[in-house]
Amino acid sequence: MSRGKKIYEGKAKILYEGPEPGTLIAHFKDDATAFNNQKHGQIEGKGVLNNRISELLMTRLEEVGVPTHFIKRLNMREQLVHKVEIIPLEMVCRNVAAGSICKRFGLKEGEKLPRPIIEYYFKDDELGDPLVSEDHIAAFGWAAPQEMDDMIAMTFRVNDFLSGLFGAIGIRLVDFKLEFGRQFEGDMVRTILADEISPDSCRLWDIKSNRKLDKDRFRQDLGDVPEAYAEVARRLGVLKGVANLKIVSKETAK
Ligand code: ADP
Ligand code: UDP
């Protein structure tokens, strides 16, 4: 499939114009960053694994009625997606305390939250993606009230569905970040799930051992980072397609 010109290079992906108007090709890189770009590194095979993992999760979500940007996977590192106008918010949903919420409220990592909590962060690297309220969003016009209602409903739906999907493979969905965008079709516009869902954007812990199987292994220098991503892919049943990848999950190798 012909790839158009590069339109954006981010920390983890490159976007190219797609073959049809209204489409893009997302290329998944191995680059990893953390702490608002202060820590840089490479996680070998991450792009290939996240491409597969995101494909699987977006496809399952679409099947249960969550509209997504995903069209099809093109090759090991690329997928075709619907182009959207990204709503400049990171919708974070948390089931268990970890990361920034622990610092903010003095919670212990691993503490179960009384119920799933959604937080909004304004997507702005220069400002370090600050936490914002619904009133900030309405006042500054970052998202319309109807878009907020849709994003909140979809985020809870994604949480319910993915908590079950991961639970069935022995993984606790601790928290995750979603991005949504506006898809324009003629004079219609709808809000759909965009970007990616992967161990870069979720906290995933082994249910029995609490072993971290996500980007926190990179953030916290815990080691075995590619192996953790491969373990998630293996449990989801998408590692078979990337058998020639050098990473062999330790548990797979047993
Ligand atoms: P970042 O921009 O934070 O460095 P990435 O490297 O993952 O992150 O870059 C991907 C960029 O593409 C993000 O800014 C994301 O908001 C944007 N994006 C994701 N999906 C789409 C889409 N379907 N249409 C347009 N932009 C998208
Ligand atoms: N997250 C993300 N991108 C970001 C910030 C957070 O994907 O720019 C994800 C992160 O991986 C975690 C969740 O959102 O699954 C909540 O992150 P948190 O606010 O705890 O921030 P962190 O501790 O990662 O800085």
| Structural contact between residues 105 and 117, judged by C-beta atoms closer than 8 angstroms | no
Amino acid 17: pLDDT: 98
The alpha carbon of 86 and the centre of ligand 1 are apart by a number of angstroms equal to: 8
Q: Is 56 part of a structural domain of the chain?
A: yes
What domain range includes position 114? Answer: 85-206
Judgement on whether residues 30 and 131 belong to the same structural domain of the protein? no
Q: What distance, in Å, lies between the first and last C-alpha atoms of the chain?
A: 39
pLDDT at 253 over 90: no
Amino acid letter, 79? Q
Judgement on whether residues 73 and 96 belong to the same structural domain of the protein? no
Q: For residue 125, count other CB atoms closer than 10 A to its CB.
A: 11
Q: For residue 78, count other CB atoms closer than 10 A to its CB.
A: 19
Could you give the C-alpha distances from 120 to 99, 130, 137, 157, in angstroms and in order?
15, 8, 9, 16
Q: Angle 225-236/46-63 helices, nearest 10 degrees?
A: 30
CA atoms within 13 A on the CB side of 127: 10
Q: Is 12 part of a structural domain of the chain?
A: yes
| Ligand 2 atom nearest 214 alpha carbon | 11
pLDDT at 249 over 90: no
- Ligand closest to Cα of 23 equals 1
Quickly state the pLDDT bin for 243 (edges 50, 70, 90): low
Q: Which of 64-73, 127-136, 234-243 has the lowest mean pLDDT?
A: 234-243
Q: Is 55 part of a structural domain of the chain?
A: yes
Judgement on whether residues 129 and 69 belong to the same structural domain of the protein? no
Tally the domains of the chain. 2
- Ligand closest to Cα of 200 equals 2
The alpha carbon of 49 and the centre of ligand 1 are apart by a number of angstroms equal to: 17
CATH of the domain at 182: 3.30.470.20
Backbone angles phi, psi at 207, to 5 degrees: -60, -40
Angle 116-173-239 from CA coordinates, rounded to 5°:
155
CATH of the domain at 240: 3.30.200.20
